[in-house]
A and B are shown apart, each in its own frame.
Chain A
Amino acid sequence: MIPLPHYLTVSAILFTTGAIGVLMRRNALIMLMSLELMLNAVNLSFVAYARLHQDMGGHVFVFLSITVAAVEAAVGLAILLTIFRTRATVDVDNLHLLQR
């Protein structure tokens, strides 16, 4: 049996990678994908702890969080499409309408 901290470490690495992506990349699509990566990393922690405590509440929570992630992807991509249609770019540095 693999010790739990192994899974948690993988989860932490994936989460940090996703955070770097959200902070560093300027392409809104890549930022959305990094966000999905972070959500997935958290899901891995949930399932690992569910196995540790032999409680399936973690599985239910992952199920719900996957649903939320799907909704988030759909709405986020719709917003992205609208922005691209009017401004022909998905570079977040060019989207500073609210800053002025």
Chain B
Amino acid sequence: METFLFWIFAIVGVGGGIMVVFHRNPMSSAIYLVVTMLCLAGFYALLAGPFVAVIQVLVYAGAVMVLILFVIMMLNLREETLQREGGMATWILAGLIGLVLVVAVLPPFPRTPAGTPPPEFGTIEAVGNKLFTMYMLPFELTSVLLLIGIIGAVILAKRRML
């Protein structure tokens, strides 16, 4: 069952990711991005991380994608042709990135996670305990970052001239 779900999520997720990049209509790209993010939430659930899975659905597939869809609708972008496919340099650079990542995946280390994790692994309570003890400072800094983001977005969107 787990293997079956993994392959479903992998194929749909990667297919969605490819469609995000190569689809002509920005609106369709956004919808495919939602599909990919939901598949990633499924991966997190398979990897014993219910909290991150829920956060992924709420924040990414919910909030961030609604924001992007709103902007696409406001800008009223028409379907565009995929003009330049990018020069040879683009493909070489992309291939190089892919090659480096594959090499990074290859080295021998414990391949399969050992045993089953304890039942509380990845739950809201366990992650919260870690977040508010060991990672307190990064968490507080995140709130400052959010404040900066809110102020920046409001000021940028209000201004008349660039």
Chain A residues engaging chain B, CB cutoff 8 angstroms? 1-10, 12-21, 23-27, 29-30, 32-34, 36-37, 40, 43-44, 47-48, 50-52, 54, 56-57, 59-60, 62-64, 66-75, 77-86, 90
Please pick, from B33, B93, B122, the residue contacting A59 in the complex, using a CB distance under 8 A: B122
Q: Which of B41-89 contact A (CB under 8 A)?
A: 43-44, 46-49, 51-52, 55-56, 59-60, 63-64, 67-68, 71-72, 74-75, 77, 80, 82-86
Contact A59-B56, Cβ < 8 Å, known A8-B105, A10-B10, A52-B113: no
The residues of A that contact B77 with a CB separation of less than 8 Å are 27, 29, 90
List the 6 closest A-B pairs by CB distance, nearest first.
A71-B149, A21-B21, A12-B101, A78-B156, A24-B86, A16-B98
A92 to chain B, nearest CB (A): 11
The residues of A that contact B157 with a CB separation of less than 8 Å are 78, 81-82
Please pick, from B51, B68, B134, the residue contacting A33 in the complex, using a CB distance under 8 A: B68
Distance of A63 Cα from B117 Cα, bound (Å): 20
Can you pick out 30 interface pairs between chain A and chain B where the beta carbons lie within 8 Å of each other?
A4-B110, A4-B113, A10-B10, A16-B97, A16-B98, A19-B93, A19-B94, A23-B86, A23-B93, A24-B85, A24-B86, A29-B71, A29-B72, A30-B29, A33-B33, A33-B68, A37-B36, A40-B60, A44-B44, A47-B49, A47-B52, A50-B122, A57-B130, A57-B134, A59-B127, A74-B149, A74-B153, A78-B152, A81-B157, A82-B156
A14 near B17 with CB under 8 A, answer yes
Distance of A73 Cα from B134 Cα, bound (Å): 28
B67 near A47 with CB under 8 A, answer no
The residues of B that contact A5 with a CB separation of less than 8 Å are 105, 111
A44 near B43 with CB under 8 A, answer yes
Distance of A24 Cα from B97 Cα, bound (Å): 14
The residues of B that contact A9 with a CB separation of less than 8 Å are 102, 105
Contact A60-B156, Cβ < 8 Å, known A18-B21, A27-B80, A30-B26: no
A40 near B40 with CB under 8 A, answer yes
Distance of A29 Cα from B33 Cα, bound (Å): 12
B84 near A26 with CB under 8 A, answer yes
